[in-house]
Structure 1
Amino acid sequence: MKTASRISVAALALAFGAPGHAIAEAAQPAGTAQAARTEGKTGMRTAPAVAPVKLRWEIVRNELGAQGGRTRARLSVTPLNGQSLPAQGWALYFNCMDGVTAGPLAGNLVLEKVVGGSLFRVRPAAGFKGLPAGQTLNIDYYYPNLLIKMASAPAGPYLVFDAAPEVAYAITDFKQELPAREEQLKRPAGRDTLVTTQDTYRRNARADVLPASALPPVFPTPLQLRTGSGKVQLARPPQVISGPGLQYETAFARALFARYMPQGDTSHAAVPLRLRIGAVDAQSSPEAYELSISGDDGINITGNTAAGVARGLQSLHDLLPLPSDAAQIELPELDVTDAPRFAYRGFQLDVARNFQPKDVVFKTLDLMSAYKLNKLHFHITDDEGWRLEIAGLPELTSIGAVRGHYTKEDQRLPPTYGSGPRVDDPHGSGYYTRADYIDILRYAAARHIEVIPEIEMPGHARAAVKAMEARYHRMKAAGEQGADKYLLNDFDDRSVYRSPQEYTDHVMNPGLESSYAFIEQVVAQVAAMHREAGVSLKTMHVGGDELPHGAWEKSPLSRALMQKEKLASTADLWDYFYNRVDGILRKHGMFASGWEEMGARRSDKERAQQLPNPRFTQRGFSLYVWNNTPGNEDFAYRLANAGYDIVLAPVTNMYLDMAANPNPEEPGVNWGAYVELETVFDFQPMGAALTDAGRRRIRGIEATLFSETIRDASRLDYLMMPRLLAVAERAWAPDPALSAASHRAAWSAFVNTLGQRVLPRLDLERGDVRYRIAPPGMVVEGGKVLVNHVLPGLTLRYTTDGTTPTVRSKPVTGPIAAKGVIQAAAFDRTGRAGLVARIVNR
C-alpha cells in the first residue's frame, strides 16, 4: 500500500467518495418537514459521504494559574478502511462554542479560526508527514480558560480536501470522553467544585418525605382551597354543560374524561360539569377561576374569562387520580378560588441557534398550558438562523435558515453549534412556513397562551445581515432595480468590534434607511400572519442585547446620520435607532418589548454599570431583564423604579440552558450560573430595592432556554423539565416564607408533589417527556448506605456488583447493608433511568 505522503490529494478525495470536481451538498430545507432535493448547474447532491475516520476527544489536563488557568485538550484522528491522510491538502473542521487558542500546533499542524462564531479547522503545515491508515494522530491544543462543561467540547466535525473544497465528509464515528481523572477535573479552590453523592444526599435531606394525603391537591399552589368531608363518585364521564365562548374548554373537558373513562357505566346518571364565564369574587385577573366539587351540585368552574375556565380545568385535571384501570373516579369535595400572582408567566424557546420542528413547539405549548404558563417568547431569529418565512424576502430562509459547509459566503450560513457540514441537518437548517407559524399561533391561542415573536436587532442579526447582503449581490448581478432596498450593512464600515459569540459582522446599521425598510417589512408580515390566524399581536420583542462596543463607530453612513441628526455619540445613535423601531411598532398597534439593554443608556466603557435610559421611560417599553451578574444585581429594580415595565428573567435563576451543577455528565452551559431545581424555586422576584411604584411595574417572570447545546428534543426536555415546574409555581403562587421552617415545609410540599403526582401523571399520560431524573444522594452511616432523592416518589433501584441499575434491579427499601461498590439510580413510571450515583461501602 502506498504511504499517505505519496497519495495525491485528488486521488484521496476520490477515494473518500467525492464525485471528482462535483460539489457535494444538499439543497435548502423547505419549511419544517423536508429538504429540497435538487440537481442543478452546481452538481449538488443530497448526502455528503461519511468520512472513514475515527475521531476521539478528551481533556488532557486542566492547568491552574494565577488568572484561573487553561485546559489542554486532545483530538485523536484515526483513518480507517485503508484510507490515509496525506501530507498536505486537507482540513479538519469542528465547532467549539467558547473558542480555542489558534496558532501552530505540535506535529507540524496549525489551528485556525475560520469565521466569526465557533468554526475552527486544523490543517497540516510544512513538514507534516501524513497519517497512514490505522495509525492515530493526537492533536493537542489549548482552551484559553478552564474547560468545565462538555458544552465547550468540539462538535460537528468534518473533513474537506483541497482537491474538492466544496465536498465535506461528516465524521460520524466521533466520541467525547467524559473527564474522570484528577488532572482532568482539577479546578481552582472554591470554584466549579464537583458535587459528590454525599453533597447530593445532604441537599436532598432539606426536604421531608410526605404522605400522599398531605400533598397539595392542585398544582401550582392555589390562592384558596377549602376541602369538604365527602367524595364524589364518577362511574361515567360527566355531562359537560358550557356557556358561550368556551368551545376549546368544552372539547378539552370531554377529551379529558374520555381518556380516563373510555367506557363508563351508563346505568348511572352523569354528574354535571358546568363551565361558564362570570365574575370571580374579589379577583380581577382574567385568569381567575372558581372550582367547586360537591355531591349535591356536581362540578362547577367559573372563570372571569375563557382563560380562567381553562386554568380551572387544569386544576380539575390535577384532582383526577393517576391513570389506571379503575372503573370509577373519586373526586374530593372542595372549593377553590384561584388567581395567578403575575399576569406574565413566560417561557422563552430559542429555535434560532438550533431549530425545532412544529410538533416540538406544540408539545412545549401543551406543557405550558398544563402548568398554567401563558406567554411563549418565541426566539426565532439570531446570528445563526432566521426561522420564519417572510413574504418578499425569500433569502431570509433560503440563506438565513440554512447552515452547512460552503466556499462562497452567499450560499448559506456556516455550521455552528454542532450542526455539521450537511445543509439538511434538521437542527442546523429549517424554518416555519407562514402556514406553520399560523398553526402555532392558533394552537397557542386555543390554550390561552400569547406568542411573542422575537426579531433580534441591531446585534445578534448575522443571519438577516448575510441574507440581505446575498439578496443585494444577486439582484446587482442580474441588473435588477432595488437591490439595496433592504440592505442591512454598510460595505464601507471599518468599525472594529467583537460580540460575545465572536462575530465581527453581525450588526444592523442604523445609518441605512434600508435597515428601517427591512424592519417595516418584517413587522408588517408578522402582523399579517397574526391577523390571518385570528390572534392579536400586542407586542413584538425587538432584541437589543449584547451590541458590542465599537459597532457603528467607523461606518461612514452612521457617521453621516449622526452629523445630520446632531447626535453626539453612538449612544445617541442607539436611541435614534430604537425611536425609529418604536415608531414602526406603534404604526402596527404594538408596544415595544426587548432585552434590558433597550432601556439602558449605553456607556462608552465596556462592562460599566448599566443605567436606566431616561429617554424611553414614557414609551411603554417592556424590558426583559436577564443580567443580574455582579455589578448589575439590582438593575431590574432600578429600571422598574425609573418607569419601565419589567419581566424578570435573571440568568442566575431562570436560564434553563445553564447546567444543574459543574459535574461533567450534566449538560448545559455555565457562563452565568448553575441552576438546580431549588435555585429556581427559591427565586424571590420582589427585591428590597423596589419602590411601591416599581413593584407595580414588575409584570412577571420568564424562564429562558437558549439552544446552543440542544441538538435533539430529548435534550430540550432534560434542560426544561422539571425546572419549568418550579417556574410555574413561582409565577403563580406567592413566595414561600423566609423562615427556615416555613421554607422547608414549602419545599417539601413542592418536591413531593412533583415526585408523587405531577411527574408520574406526565409519564402515564404522555410518556414522551424525557425530563431530568437527578442522581440519588448516598452516604455511608453506621456501616450502611443511605439513599435519597430530590423528588420523593420516584422509584430508587441499586446494584452491588458494579453493574448499572436497571428496572430489574433491587428497589431501595431502606438502608443497604451490602459491602463494596453500590450504584443507585431513580426511575420514572415508564422505567426510564436517571443519572447513576456510586459509593463504596467498605
Structure 2
Amino acid sequence: MHINKLNKKMLALTIVASLTLLGCEKSPKPAIDTGEKINLQAIYSVTQNDIDNIAKNLDVNYRVITNIPSDKCDSKVADGACFEVQLTFTAKQVIAAKDWTIHFSQIAPIQSFESDDFTVKHLNGDLHQISLKDNFSGFAANEKKTLNFRAMFWSLAESDVMPNYIVSAPRLEARVIESTVPFIDKDTGLEILPHVETFTDSNAQFKRTASDKTQWLTSAKLYQRNSVLVQDKLAVIQAIIPTPKSVNIDANRGFANISQGVAVSLGNVKHKDVDAALARLTTLGVNQNLQGLPLRLSISGNGNKVIGSYNLNVTAEEIIIVGVDANGVFNGLQSLASLVTVGENRIPELTVDDEPHYAFRGMLVDVARNFHSKEFILKLLDQMAAYKLNKLHLHLGDDEGWRLEIPSLPELTDIGAKRCFDASEENCLMPQLGAGIDENSSVSGYYSVSDYHDILKAASARHIQVIPSLDMPGHSRASIKAMTARYKKYQALEDEAKAKQFLLEDFDDTTKYSSVQFYGDNTINACLESSYDFIVEVMTQVKKIHADAGQPLTRYHIGADETAGAWLDSPACKAFVANNDKGVTQMSELGAYFIERVAGILSELDIETAGWSDGMEHTRKENMPAIVQANAWDALFWGGHDKVHLLANRDWQVVISSPDVLYFDFPHEADPKEHGYYWASRHTNTEKVFQFMPDNLPVHAEFWLDRQDNAYIADDTKTPLAAGQKFLGIQGQLWSENVRTDDMVEHKVFPRLLALAERSWHLADWAVPYNYQGAKYSQQTDTFNSKMQHKRDSEWAVFANTLGEKEFAKLELAEIDYRLPTVGAIIKAGKLHANIAFPGLTIEYQVNGGNWLTYQEPTEVSGQVNIRSRSINGLRASRITQVK
C-alpha cells in the first residue's frame, strides 16, 4: 500500500502522541521510517525551558469538596460511594506552551470530570494523567484554571493526597511540579503536603455517609477523655512493660542502688545471647562495672516452662535472672531495663515470675510500597526486643517495589526496586504512590545481600525471627515487570530459552481485571511453569542468604491475598484447565492451586508456609502442609471472627492481624490531619490497642464500634472455635502506601508498638475468656462487665503514665520519633485547663500568635489559644491544635 509523505508524517505524529498519553519521558523512534526528520519543536510548542518553567511556577491546590455522592457518581461502583475534588492550577508567570501533560497519583480511580481546559484519565494503579484540551490557550500571569473530578469511595484525610505531580512532554526531561513536593515540618518532624487544602467542613468533608457518627476529635473532647487519668508515681516506678505474669513486691523491701552500674556474671549464658540486652542497659545509663551491683545470669532448663520464660529477683545486694533458655535470660534483662528510669540511680526491689502469653509476637513492616532503610529496621529490631516482640514480618515485594537482592536475578532490583518516569518500565517502574522522577529517592531502594545479612544477624542477636514475604500471585507487579524486562534482554540476545526461563506473564492474556489497588497487570500467571521455576529460584536464593547469615529460613510468607480475577482469558490457563491432571477444573480454582503448589515447593525446601487468610481459606486442607500459618486480617465489625475461627479449626496456626486495631498505618485519632488510611478504623490510638482481647474477638462488639462509629453485633454461634483451640499469636501491621519516610514510620508505629507488646505477652486478668459454646455480643450484652472495665481502665492509667514518665525517654535515647499526642484543653471561666494522654510530657500553649509558654496549671487567657505537647528532650513538638 502506498503511503504518501503526509500520511507518513501523520502516522509518526500519532505514534508520538500515543506515547505521550502513556507518559513516555524518552519516546523511541517512530516505528516507520518516514525518510525525513521531523522537527518536534515545530510540531509541539513546548520546550525543555517550558517544562522547567511549568514545574517551577505552576501552583497546584487540591481541595476535597464533598464526600456526598452526586448524580455524576457511578452508582454501580463501590455502592455509589464517591467524592468530589477541585484541582486548581495557578500560574505565577505566563505559561504559553502547549502539548504537555501532568502525571499524578490518586488513590481511587477518577470516574468523571469537568474542565474547560483539561482532561484526566486513569492509567494503572493509582497513576493518572491530565492532558490539555485542544482549545487550551495557556495561562496568563496569576490566572487560575480548574479541574473538578469525582473518584470512587471517600477522601477523609489530608494524607490521602499524593505528592510529586510530574509535568512532561515527548523527548524532554520530566520535572516534578515544585508546589506538590512535600517538606518536613521543622518542629514536628512530620511530612507536609503543601498543595493540600485544609479540611474545614465536618459534614461534607469529614464523613463517609449520612449515617457516619464519627466525631472530629476536638481539644475539648480530648480533655474530657484524658480527665479520667490519674497519676501514681509508685506504680510507674514499679511498672514493667510488657506486664509480667507475676510480680511480688514486699512492702518491707525498698530500692536497689545502680549508681555504679552492674557487675555481670554470665554463668552458663553465652555473651552473644545477651550482648544486645546489656548494650541497651548501657544506653539507659546502667554500665557494666566490676564495682557495680552484682547481676547474676543463668539458664536453668525446665520442660514445663514456655520458651522465653524467666525469673527476675532484685534485692539491695544483687540481681538474679534465671531463664528457661537464653531467650528467657534476654527477656529478663529487658524487664530489668524496663525498671530503669532514665536519670535515676535506683530500681525497686521485687521478684518477677514471667512467661509469654503468645508464642508469636509480631510486627509487619511494608518496605515494598515505599522503601525504608536498613538503619530504621535495625532500630526497630532494638525496640521490638526491648518489649519482647519476637517476629519481624518483612514485606519485601509488592506491586510498587522488590526490595531484596537476588544475585541470580539482578533485574528484580535493577528495575523492580526503582521508581522513575519511564513508560517502557525497562529501566524502572513508573512512579506510583507519588514517587516522583528520581530513582535514587528514599522511596526507592533495596537491601543488598550484605544489608539483609546485617538485619538477620541483628535479629538473631535479639532472639527475633525474620519472616520474609515477597507477595504472590497478586501484588506482584514489580517482579512481573522485572522478569519481562529480563525476557526482552535475552530475546535481544537471541537466547529464547533464557528469556522465557522465569517469565511471569502470558503475553497473549487479554483478561481485563482490576486489583484492589486498581492494577490490571499485577498477578503472576498460575499456569506457566516458568512462574514456578521463578519461585524455586528465588526461594533457593533466599534460603541460602538466611543460612549464610546464621538464621535458617524456616518460615516464609507467600502473601497469597487479593488476587483479582486474572487469567480468565489467558490461553495458557485455558489450556492448563482443559488438559491438566492437577484437579483444577475451572478458572476459579487457579488461585488455590497456585498457593498449594507454592506451599509444596516450600515444603521441599524444608520451609513452612504462611499466608494471608483471604488467599489461604480457598485452599484444600489435604493439599496443604501439616504446619500452616494464616494471618487473619478480616475486620471484626464485618464478622471477621468467623473466618478466623474457621482457619483455626483447620488446626492451622492463626496469627491475629485484625485491621480494626492492629493496622498501625491507620490514624491515631479522628482528625483529617491525622495521617493514614482508614478503611477499617478512623481512630486506632494506643489505648485501643491496649484494650484488645485477642483470645475473644467477637466480644469487642460490646464496647467498640464499626468504621463509621456505629454499634454492631457479633454473632459467634455460627462458627465458634473448636473446644480448646487457641491462636498462635498477634501481629501489628505497618503498610507503607503513603508512609514515605523512616520518621513517619516511627510516628505511626510508636507508641502503639508498646501496647501491641503488652497484649501479645501479657494475658490481662480483665480479659473475657473465650466462650467455646458460641455467643452473641452487642452493646446490649454485658459479658465485659463494669468491674472488668474498671480494672482495664485502671491498668491503662498506669500504662499511660509509665509511657509518659518512663518509656518515652528511652525511645528518645534510641532516636525513635514516636507520635507526640495532641493536647486536651478547654477554656473555663477565662482560664485554660489542659491535660494529656501520657502524663509526664510537657504541655505548651500560645496566645494570639505569641511565644510558646509551658503550661503548669490553669492559666488566664484571652483570644486565640493554641496548644501542643513537647518531647522529653525538648527536640520535637506535636501537631498544633486550637482550643475552641
1:382 aligns with 2:406: no
1:234 aligns with 2:258: yes
How high is the TM-score relative to the length of structure 1?
0.87
Going from structure 1 to structure 2, the CA distance change for 1:85 and 1:751 (only over 3 Å counts) comes to: farther
Q: Deviations over 1:116-160 (max 9, x none)?
A: 211112111111111234433333323334321123224221110
Letter in 1 for 2:256: V
Going from structure 1 to structure 2, the CA distance change for 1:732 and 1:511 (only over 3 Å counts) comes to: same
1:801 matched residue in structure 2: 848
Counterpart of 1:572 (choices 585, 589, 607) is: 589
Q: Indicate the SS of the match to 2:635.
A: coil
Q: Deviations over 1:228-277 (max 9, x none)?
A: 413322342322111345213553465455545589998xx433211121
Going from structure 1 to structure 2, the CA distance change for 1:713 and 1:300 (only over 3 Å counts) comes to: same
C-alpha distance in 2 between matches for 1:790 and 1:534? 42
C-alpha distance in 1 between matches for 2:151 and 2:721? 48
Q: Deviations over 1:400-439 (max 9, x none)?
A: 1111111323332110112112222221x21111111111
Going from structure 1 to structure 2, the CA distance change for 1:423 and 1:617 (only over 3 Å counts) comes to: closer
How high is the TM-score relative to the length of structure 2?
0.83
Letter in 2 for 1:99: P
Q: Tell whether the 8 Å contact from 1:736 to 1:746 is kept in structure 2 after alignment.
A: no
Going from structure 1 to structure 2, the CA distance change for 1:123 and 1:827 (only over 3 Å counts) comes to: same
Going from structure 1 to structure 2, the CA distance change for 1:91 and 1:683 (only over 3 Å counts) comes to: same
1:191-230 aligned at under 5 Å gives the runs: 191=212, 192-213=214-235, 216-228=238-250, 229-230=253-254
C-alpha distance in 1 between matches for 2:169 and 2:388? 53
Give the superposition deviation at 1:740. 2.2
Q: Deviations over 1:533-570 (max 9, x none)?
A: 0112111000111011x222221211222222252223
| Count of aligned positions | 773
1:460 aligns with 2:475: yes
Letter in 1 for 2:794: A
C-alpha distance in 2 between matches for 1:450 and 1:304? 19
Going from structure 1 to structure 2, the CA distance change for 1:372 and 1:260 (only over 3 Å counts) comes to: closer
Give the superposition deviation at 1:660. 2.1
2:165 matched residue in structure 1: 157
Q: Deviations over 1:383-413 (max 9, x none)?
A: 1000111121111111111111113233321
Q: Tell whether the 8 Å contact from 1:239 to 1:270 is kept in structure 2 after alignment.
A: yes
C-alpha distance in 1 between matches for 2:731 and 2:625? 23
Give the superposition deviation at 1:331. 2.7
1:97 aligns with 2:97: no
Going from structure 1 to structure 2, the CA distance change for 1:213 and 1:195 (only over 3 Å counts) comes to: closer
1:437 matched residue in structure 2: 452
1:393 aligns with 2:415: no
1:498 matched residue in structure 2: 514
Q: Tell whether the 8 Å contact from 2:51 to 2:174 is kept in structure 1 after alignment.
A: no
2:3 matched residue in structure 1: none
1:777 aligns with 2:824: yes
C-alpha distance in 1 between matches for 2:258 and 2:600? 57
Q: Tell whether the 8 Å contact from 1:84 to 1:133 is kept in structure 2 after alignment.
A: yes
C-alpha distance in 1 between matches for 2:640 and 2:316? 55
CA RMSD of aligned residues (A): 2.6
C-alpha distance in 2 between matches for 1:753 and 1:557? 60
Q: Indicate the SS of the match to 2:88.
A: strand
Give the superposition deviation at 1:595. 0.4
Q: Tell whether the 8 Å contact from 2:236 to 2:802 is kept in structure 1 after alignment.
A: no
Larger CA deviation: 372-381 vs 398-407 = 398-407
Q: Tell whether the 8 Å contact from 2:105 to 2:162 is kept in structure 1 after alignment.
A: yes
C-alpha distance in 1 between matches for 2:202 and 2:618? 46
Q: Tell whether the 8 Å contact from 2:800 to 2:838 is kept in structure 1 after alignment.
A: yes
1:812 aligns with 2:812: no
- Gaps (5+ residues) in structure 1? 1-6, 19-48, 603-612
Q: Indicate the SS of the match to 1:110.
A: strand
Larger CA deviation: 580-589 vs 403-412 = 403-412
Q: Indicate the SS of the match to 1:585.
A: helix
Counterpart of 1:759 (choices 808, 822, 827) is: 808
Give the superposition deviation at 1:671. 1.3
1:365 aligns with 2:371: no
Q: Tell whether the 8 Å contact from 2:46 to 2:100 is kept in structure 1 after alignment.
A: no
Letter in 2 for 1:138: T
Q: Deviations over 1:700-719 (max 9, x none)?
A: 00000000111111211111
1:309 aligns with 2:329: yes
1:746 matched residue in structure 2: 795
1:54-133 aligned at under 5 Å gives the runs: 54-59=58-63, 61-62=65-66, 64-65=68-69, 70-80=82-92, 84-86=95-97, 88-102=98-112, 105-114=114-123, 116-133=124-141
Give the superposition deviation at 1:202. 2.4
Larger CA deviation: 91-100 vs 525-534 = 91-100
Q: Tell whether the 8 Å contact from 2:90 to 2:143 is kept in structure 1 after alignment.
A: yes
C-alpha distance in 2 between matches for 1:748 and 1:254? 30
1:416-427 aligned at under 5 Å gives the runs: 416-427=432-443
Q: Indicate the SS of the match to 1:786.
A: strand
1:612-691 aligned at under 5 Å gives the runs: 613-616=620-623, 619-628=626-635, 630-674=638-682, 675-687=684-696, 689=716
C-alpha distance in 2 between matches for 1:253 and 1:771? 21
1:451 aligns with 2:504: no
Q: Indicate the SS of the match to 1:667.
A: coil
Q: Tell whether the 8 Å contact from 2:262 to 2:289 is kept in structure 1 after alignment.
A: no
Q: Deviations over 1:157-214 (max 9, x none)?
A: 111023x25x211122332222225676353444243222222222223433333445
1:135 aligns with 2:143: yes
Q: Tell whether the 8 Å contact from 1:79 to 1:85 is kept in structure 2 after alignment.
A: no
Q: Deviations over 1:624-654 (max 9, x none)?
A: 0111251434311221123221000001110
Going from structure 1 to structure 2, the CA distance change for 1:734 and 1:260 (only over 3 Å counts) comes to: closer
2:549 matched residue in structure 1: 533
C-alpha distance in 2 between matches for 1:536 and 1:396? 23
Larger CA deviation: 89-98 vs 781-790 = 781-790
- Gaps (5+ residues) in structure 2? 1-40, 71-78, 181-193, 699-715, 767-783
